[in-house]
Structure 1
Amino acid sequence: MNDSALPEKGPGSSRLVMVGMPAAGHVNPSLPIMRELTRRGVNVTYYTSDEFQAVVEDAGCEFRGYPANTLGPADIAEATRTGGPVRVVARILQATETLLPFLLTDLEADCPAAIAFDSNAIWGRMAAASLGVPTISLMTTIMIGGKDLSGLTSREWFQSVREAVPGVPATRSAKRRVVRRFGKQLYPPAPGLPMRGDLTIFPVPRWMQSANPRIDERCHFVGPTISLEGRNGHPEPELATVLDGPEPLILVSLGTLHAGSDAFFRACFEALAGLPARVLLTIGPHVDPARLGRPPANTLIRASMPQLEVLRRTAVFVTHGGMNSALEGLACGVPLVLVPQQVEQLVIARVITDRGAGVVLRHNLSNRPVPAAELRAAVEHALTDSSLRTAAHAMGSSLGEEGGAVAAAEAIQSFLCGATKHK
């Protein structure tokens, strides 16, 4: 759509507030949608932590930062590493005690036409309920149901329960404090997280979502909002050398929230050292490379890297299977070796492997180390079996069919028009 085809300002240009979950995997899928909305004349105010100010403003939104030391990427990552999803919920509830009053005070003088919120940002949903405005949920992954959980082994069930139980008391206590302070009528209705809205946008393909009674006519699957255009960066010289080498490139990354163990990265050393390939090992900010020992000659270690830029040149992607990483790999036509760290990632991995585009190693879900021999075999299979790359290319080619950011913006703009008319 060119600029001359944009709708005139009017009901469709109503003010929208976006309440974000301050983690890259949650913010990144929302930005192309917000960019498209602002391009259409919608006035978007985006609330998140200061780390994301530049990218939010680059999307054309007005940035509003959360109060210092309330909630940021490091807090969510720490909760994920130390207690999984249950501890993350406790941390979210703790932050809600500060973020809800902050949000209500900020919006008191200028109430928006609607509040959009990340499906885990409880304070956004509660602010909308307090102000009596319509809600838009951004659901950045699939919704897990009973059918998805039936595929867990008994050992995986035991480990997931074992991980969750220590965080339950803190989560219950935090919920009681929030309900007591702000009232039960504002708290999201059961079953709680992830939360739907009057309109719910899923920036994921419809085929990734299994049958679930919570999926109804208010839910819109628009496919991923990934843009592969305009990202030609200039990597530092050592990384550029690895990216431009003649051998196939293997990228290993467990995402921004799930820190791989020293044992896993050493297994990568052992498994991949002898392969005629270049290896880029992304270990995150919480692993000290000195603890891992000397890397093999074919391996470069980095705390982080420009993932999409690297994936464009990658032959095999060893990933935890988070939704963003999985979709970015497929968008670039890269076969995946999936090492899920939690149940949601296993569900994503199974969908991908069922369609022939990857191999899954489930060991971490039952608290077992990934054997170097099995990791090597999985990577070699992904390198040499052309059917995996063919399937990844086919899946990647289909990712734009549901419209992505444009379809999401159209659904939101239509919703805003209706919300404005019924005020």
Structure 2
Amino acid sequence: MIFCSTGAYGHTYPLIPLALAAHDAGHDVLFATADPFDTELKAFGLKTARVGLRVVDALDLEPGSHLDFDAIARMFAETLPRAVLDDLGPLLAETKPDLVVHEAACVGAFFAAKLAGVPGVCHGFGKVDGFVTTDPAAPATTELLAAFADTIGIPYEGLAMGGGGDPYLDICPPVLQTPDLLAAPNRVPLRPVAVNAKDEELPAFVRERRRERPLVYLTLGTVFAGIAHEVLAGAVEGIAALDVDLLVATGPALDPAALGTVPDNVRLEAWVPQSRLLPHVDLVVHHGGSGTTLAGLAAGRPHLVLPQGADQLANAHAVTEAGAGDWLSGEEFSPGAVTAKVRSLLADDSVRGAAQRVAAEIAAMPSPEDTVRRLVRIADEARS
């Protein structure tokens, strides 16, 4: 089996649990993605191949800023698919896999599998209509993808978010997912599992802290912390005003030193093993990225979402509608508003109960190990 993802944390890490389950079941697994994610995957014991570009590198090739909607559309609909197609096509011809598991935004892998005649399975990373309904770049991306598909002779309508006709592995629990996808015949539910490399440890601050007061975890993910530095700083100010401990993960896009001197109840880290951290926290304050949203809910933790772009607004609405948290729009955001929301959420047992109900729904979804057996059946049926 070949797994292939877009070169970004939020697109690569959701595929790791299934790839590991396939590897542990004795299948020959190759994970194809961009540098340096191919190197990171080796820490999980997976064989890797370098395919495509990192999202940030692909954006650098586009004229315009990283927040320009036309540049984002060209990146996802032309630059990234072409880079993956150019690299993955020869790899498929050489390895002749039985199956390609392509991440939903990695449309180049969908195209490459179709051109090679290899059966494909699409692996989602969150709420399927997130980009389509809330991202201003989505209409242009759809139009450009259709044109790109036409140039290579592949019938294709719309974004790959619904699998492009392939079986669609949906890691979003039903309570959050759009009804149209829940009714789709190609939907295959799969439990989201947060992972970290085995040698990553919790910060000493978490292991050694006194537990008399709540622990709040704040992150804007691996991309938006650098773009929304002022939002992160304002959130730190607002949360630190309360009698809580605050752990902030700035991610690779922002040096923790950029936040300057912080109060004594705040700890700054560039990176934390999120899957190990979440069971220890009382509230997750974040940007609404699909990975953090699903990981926090799988741990039964309430959320305060500060959406910045992409699919984050859709995730913020979904969390709120499930009763598992709240959100602040850009117009509402201020340190004082964050203080008020965090204080309210920490005191609200109903929100905590709703988050735990979502966690129970996630726990009842088919495991990666169960889903590997489904993948084998899909490959066998394609050969017969």
Tell me the TM-score normalised to structure 1 length: 0.78
Q: How much has 1:270 moved relative to structure 2?
A: 3.0
CA distance in 2 between partners of 1:293 and 1:58 (Å)? 32
Question: Is the 1:86–1:171 Cα contact (8 Å) retained in structure 2?
Answer: no
CA distance in 2 between partners of 1:387 and 1:287 (Å)? 35
Could you say which residue in structure 2 is the equivalent of 1:332? 299
C-alpha distance 234-225 of structure 1, shift in aligned 2 (>3 A): closer
Amino acid at match of 2:74: A
Could you say which residue in structure 2 is the equivalent of 1:72? 54
Could you say which residue in structure 2 is the equivalent of 1:341? 308
Asked if residue 321 in structure 1 is aligned to residue 288 in structure 2, the reply is yes
Q: Count the aligned residue pairs.
A: 379
CA distance in 2 between partners of 1:214 and 1:390 (Å)? 24
Per the alignment, in what secondary structure is the counterpart of residue 42 of structure 1?
coil
Could you say which residue in structure 2 is the equivalent of 1:83? 67
Asked if residue 300 in structure 1 is aligned to residue 285 in structure 2, the reply is no
Deviations 1:208-238 (A, max 9, x none): 212227952111122313369x969534545
Q: How much has 1:54 moved relative to structure 2?
A: 5.1
CA distance in 1 between partners of 2:286 and 2:59 (Å)? 17
1:209 to 177, 185, 195: 177
Superposition RMSD on alpha carbons, in Å?
A: 3.3
CA distance in 1 between partners of 2:380 and 2:262 (Å)? 57
Asked if residue 192 in structure 1 is aligned to residue 192 in structure 2, the reply is no
Asked if residue 275 in structure 1 is aligned to residue 242 in structure 2, the reply is yes
CA distance in 2 between partners of 1:352 and 1:265 (Å)? 20
Asked if residue 127 in structure 1 is aligned to residue 109 in structure 2, the reply is no
Unaligned 5+ segments in structure 2 are none
C-alpha distance 173-145 of structure 1, shift in aligned 2 (>3 A): closer
Q: How much has 1:319 moved relative to structure 2?
A: 1.1
CA distance in 1 between partners of 2:249 and 2:103 (Å)? 27
Question: Is the 1:128–1:135 Cα contact (8 Å) retained in structure 2?
Answer: yes
Could you say which residue in structure 2 is the equivalent of 1:9? none
Deviations 1:343-371 (A, max 9, x none): 622222222222221011122xxxx3611
1:381 to 326, 335, 344: 344
Could you say which residue in structure 2 is the equivalent of 1:98? 83
CA distance in 2 between partners of 1:335 and 1:71 (Å)? 35
Deviations 1:108-150 (A, max 9, x none): 233222222111112211111211222111111222189x94x
Deviations 1:241-287 (A, max 9, x none): 4x555421111111112225232133224312331111112223333
CA distance in 2 between partners of 1:287 and 1:55 (Å)? 19
Question: Is the 1:43–1:61 Cα contact (8 Å) retained in structure 2?
Answer: no
Unaligned 5+ segments in structure 1 are 1-15, 150-156
1:47-58 mapped onto 2 (5 Å cutoff): 47-53=32-38, 56-57=41-42
C-alpha distance 85-64 of structure 1, shift in aligned 2 (>3 A): farther
Per the alignment, in what secondary structure is the counterpart of residue 108 of structure 1?
helix
C-alpha distance 185-325 of structure 1, shift in aligned 2 (>3 A): same
Could you say which residue in structure 2 is the equivalent of 1:4? none
Could you say which residue in structure 2 is the equivalent of 1:406? 369
